[in-house]
Amino acid sequence: MLSLKKYFTEGLIQLTILLSLVGVRVDVDTYLNSQLPQLREIILGQSSAYTQTQFHNLRNTLDGYGIHPKSVDLDYYFTTRRLLNQVRALDRFQVPTTEVNAWLVHRDPEGSVSGSQPNAGITLDNGAGLQDGAGSDGAVRDNGAEQGYGEELEDLGAVAAPVNGDLTKEDIDLIDILWRQDIDLGAGREIFDYSHRQKENEVDKELNDGRERGDGWRNTGGQVSNRNLLVDGETGESFPAQVPGVEDQTALSLEECLRLLEATFPFGESSEFPAADVSTLSEAVPSESRPAGIQSSLLSPLLPETESPFDLEQQWQDLMSIMEMQAMEVNNTTAETLYNGTSGDLLTSNYNLAPNTPINQNVSLHQASLGSCSQDFSLFSSEIESPSMGGSSTLLQLAPDNSTGLNSTFSSTNFSGIFFPPQLNNTVNETTGPELPDPLGGLLDEAMLDEISLMDLAIEEGFNPVQASQLEEEFDSDSGLSLDSGHSPASLSSSEASSSSSSSSSSSSSSSSSSFSEEGAVGYSSDSENVDFEEAEGAVGYQPEYSKFCRMSYQDPSQLHYLPYLEHVGHNHTYNMAPGTLDPEEPKLPNVGKKSNKEKPSEFLDKQMSRDEHRARAMKIPFTNDKIINLPVEEFNELLSKYQLSEAQLSLIRDIRRRGKNKMAAQNCRKRKLDTILNLERDVEDLQRDKSKLLREKVEFLKSIRQMKQKVQNLYQEVFGRLRDENGQPYSPSQYALQYASDGSVILIPRTLADQQARRQERKQKDRRK
DNA sequence: CAGTACTGTCATTTG
DNA sequence: TGCAAATGACAGTAC
């Protein structure tokens, strides 16, 4: 047996720890209870060995209860427990919370709206922000600028050591130590259980049961009834969670916090976000002060709300999303403003074109916000001059005189429309804002932005019910929420299965006291502790669980008259009968509760009997209520046929059976209901987490799209600026535009054709949207 | 003493 | 249709 125990303990715990380290939630307890009660006994020792009555001091009761009395040194155990809680604290550490604290504090002055987002996998160079626009190509990244960024972050105190993994060496060492200790001790099942709240009810019930059991354990009752209790891994016993763990958790140093932060949201990624992005845009458009306004107006209501780590994470992500949107709007608005001729001088100086020519307007925007354009231009130039691009000669083939023949190719991506649509794009921008007639614009369509805005609004305003319901509907459609279709039956069966191991035991007057005292106050708990007690009566039900809930034998109480601790049964809902009302001729005993208050202590045993037990005894029913209730129909009928019973007795027996079944059905029903609520709660948390993650990814995508557009814009400028006609004169951006051909080449077409293309595409997009 | 939680019971619905 | 289970509603009890 010992070798078997060691085998299972080591194997299961190692597997569990490994799974937990990779984020898989493992509930060993459920598995052991529901599937393999024998294994539980093998691993944990015999039932009697981990019965709580083995311990009679407060320390054991509070924290060392789960220790197997045979083998464990308590101090060693407590040390292990403390370290274990440290690991748990690491596991439960809510990075988003700290993320918010860190970034709101450190990044606030910059007006930055993002920065902690991990790379969403975009192949674009995210290391450079908008301020680096054309210079964002990784090959020619300005190292100086990057360095400056790092220094900037260092000044902000937000830069920690480079991320080298999820766990530091100390963490790994600690886990390794604990691992070995746990293998020796038996790992706590709650290590991997993130939903301690789900067990609180059971824990409380266990405590109540413990109080009812009336042993020395009882004197801790009030203190132990603490909401911050965890269930011990080996025995399911509860202990105060915060005794070692929370203190350690709160004692995490700032460095540890930052390290943990980095492990999840590397700061290195944060630098990718342009700190000067919004501010630069603001400079470019002095009248546009929205980013600063956003920051002040949005951060202020969000900052004080620190109740839930997740809410903060969510709000932070949503805030980032909002500000990202706003920044993009600013970007668009900037271009729009420039379209209107505010910087015509730049246009004329660069290209000698009309003041409202889009190209130069965007160039001015580019130059206003970015400092490293020339470098990128050189890069682009080299690419343009490379043979793969076909060179300028290729482009020149697409002279206006060929334009009519190129109509067929215009169905391809409208290059010009992306960047510098002339009058057309002016109108588009004025009317539809972010809705751009370019292929990328589809990713930024109104629906998407509206969705983000709606969600952000909902979060910003504290998730009022209407908005929350909208979001929930959004998620519920595919969330797969089930009303506990899987969990509840499992838990039910677990209790049945676990009960079966003990129900077969024979009658025992010595141990029946505990089970008998549970009558009426057992609750839903299906933990094996409740079943460890020997059954008091010999009734063997086909559903042994029932014997736990309904010990209604009227015979056994007579054996228990002299068990004084049964006086201290708390919360007895057995509809006690007063002794004076025990009239054999009167089975119906209403209002027994009030009368029972006057009965003598020596009559306490009657309290332990349910109304039906009293009735059965009064009617001299020759078998136990347990049998009446729990026997299968066939056996039940067989039993009835064995005795000569009066009609009143038969009626009472049927009522007892009906009520007993219904009683357990009600208990099961309530348990299911509770489980459903808890599952829903967990589902909501998961969905909120998913939503936050999706928002984060969306922000990343939008950021990448913006950078991509900036790059293409710069490339367009460079290419177009280098085009020359037969006379060596540059083409006028007001008369010509570049477009992608279907074969991937870039062609030069007259503006009028480009405009037509743009309009056509715009109509298509609108139709598609409808 | 009011409020709350827990429990048992009844009536009814559901499978 | 009968039966058992499930469930809403209500009441009793304890805290």
Q: Are A556 and A516 in contact (CB under 8 A)?
A: yes
The pLDDT value given to residue A645 = 85
The pLDDT value given to residue A742 = 82
CA angle in degrees (0–180, nearest 5) for A140-A145-A151: 145
Quick check: A625 CB within 7 A of strand C? no
Residue A667 CA and nucleotide B14 C1' are separated, in Å, by 18
- Does residue A158 have a pLDDT over 80? no
The pLDDT value given to residue A644 = 85
pLDDT mean over A239-251 = 36
Residue A700 CA and nucleotide B15 C1' are separated, in Å, by 50
pLDDT digits (tens, 9 = 90+) for A360-410: 333 332 333 333 333 333 333 333 333 333 333 333 333 333 333 333 333
Q: What are the start-end ranges of the H helices in A285-388?
A: 290-302, 309-337, 344-351, 358-369, 373-385
The pLDDT value given to residue A174 = 52
Q: What are the start-end ranges of the H helices in A163-289?
A: 169-185, 196-213, 221-224, 247-250, 254-264, 267-270, 277-284
pLDDT digits (tens, 9 = 90+) for A466-511: 343 444 333 333 333 333 333 333 333 333 333 333 333 333 333 3
Judged by phi (left if over 0) then psi (alpha if -120 to 50, else beta), residue A212 lies in alpha
- Does residue A765 have a pLDDT over 50? yes
- Does residue A207 have a pLDDT over 70? no
Quick check: A56 CB within 7 A of strand B? no
The pLDDT value given to residue A613 = 80
Strand B nucleotides where any atom sits below 7 Å of a protein CB: 6-11
Quick check: A666 CB within 7 A of strand C? yes
Confidence of residue A618 (pLDDT cuts 50, 70, 90): confident
- Residue A70 corresponds to which tokens in the numbers above? 């045979």
| Most confident stretch, A326-340, A507-521, A651-665 | A651-665
Quick check: A659 CB within 7 A of strand B? yes
CA angle in degrees (0–180, nearest 5) for A576-A580-A585: 95
Q: How far is CA A448 from CA A417, A697, A698, A699, A711, in A?
A: 21, 13, 10, 11, 23
Residue A262 φ then ψ, to 5°:
-65, -35
The pLDDT value given to residue A55 = 25
Helix axes A465-479, A647-722, angle to 10 degrees: 90
pLDDT digits (tens, 9 = 90+) for A3-38: 333 334 344 444 444 454 444 444 434 343 433 333
Confidence of residue A603 (pLDDT cuts 50, 70, 90): low
As a whole number of angstroms, the distance between CA A205 and CA A212 comes to: 10
Q: Are A356 and A343 in contact (CB under 8 A)?
A: no
Which residue bears the tokens 């983000």? A452
CA angle in degrees (0–180, nearest 5) for A596-A600-A605: 75
- Does residue A96 have a pLDDT over 80? no
- Does residue A697 have a pLDDT over 90? yes
Q: In percent, how much of chain A has pLDDT > 90?
A: 4
- Does residue A709 have a pLDDT over 60? yes
Residue A738: in which H helix or E strand, if any?
A: strand A736-740
Q: How far is CA A636 from CA A43, A155, A478, A665, in A?
A: 38, 81, 47, 19
Looking at A56-60, A215-219, A310-314, which range is the least confident one?
A56-60
The pLDDT value given to residue A608 = 62
Mean pLDDT of chain A: 47
Q: Which of residues 607-626 of A touch strand B (CB under 7 A)?
A: 610-612
pLDDT digits (tens, 9 = 90+) for A422-433: 333 333 333 333
- Does residue A664 have a pLDDT over 60? yes
As a whole number of angstroms, the distance between CA A542 and CA A722 comes to: 90
Q: Are A734 and A359 in contact (CB under 8 A)?
A: no
Helix axes A647-722, A633-642, angle to 10 degrees: 170
Residue A126 φ then ψ, to 5°:
-85, -5
The pLDDT value given to residue A688 = 95
- Does residue A335 have a pLDDT over 70? no
Confidence of residue A191 (pLDDT cuts 50, 70, 90): very low
- Does residue A573 have a pLDDT over 90? no
The pLDDT value given to residue A576 = 32
Quick check: A546 CB within 7 A of strand B? no
Q: Are A321 and A452 in contact (CB under 8 A)?
A: yes
Full-prediction pTM beyond 0.85?
no
- What spatial distance separates the first Cα and last Cα of chain A, rounded to whole Å? 71
Cα dihedral: A554, A558, A559, A565 (round 10): 100
As a whole number of angstroms, the distance between CA A87 and CA A240 comes to: 16
- Does residue A705 have a pLDDT over 80? yes
Residue A665 CA and nucleotide B15 C1' are separated, in Å, by 15
Residue A670 CA and nucleotide C13 C1' are separated, in Å, by 18
Q: How far is CA A33 from CA A401, A498, A762, in A?
A: 83, 6, 62
pLDDT mean over A30-55 = 32
Residue A408 CA and nucleotide B1 C1' are separated, in Å, by 88
Quick check: A204 CB within 7 A of strand B? yes
Q: What is the CA radius of gyration of chain A?
A: 37
Q: What are the start-end ranges of the H helices in A584-646?
A: 592-596, 604-608, 611-618, 625-630, 633-642
pLDDT digits (tens, 9 = 90+) for A412-421: 333 433 333 3
pLDDT mean over A347-371 = 33
Strand partners for A746 = A740
As a whole number of angstroms, the distance between CA A152 and CA A163 comes to: 18
- Does residue A750 have a pLDDT over 80? yes
Q: Are A717 and A362 in contact (CB under 8 A)?
A: yes
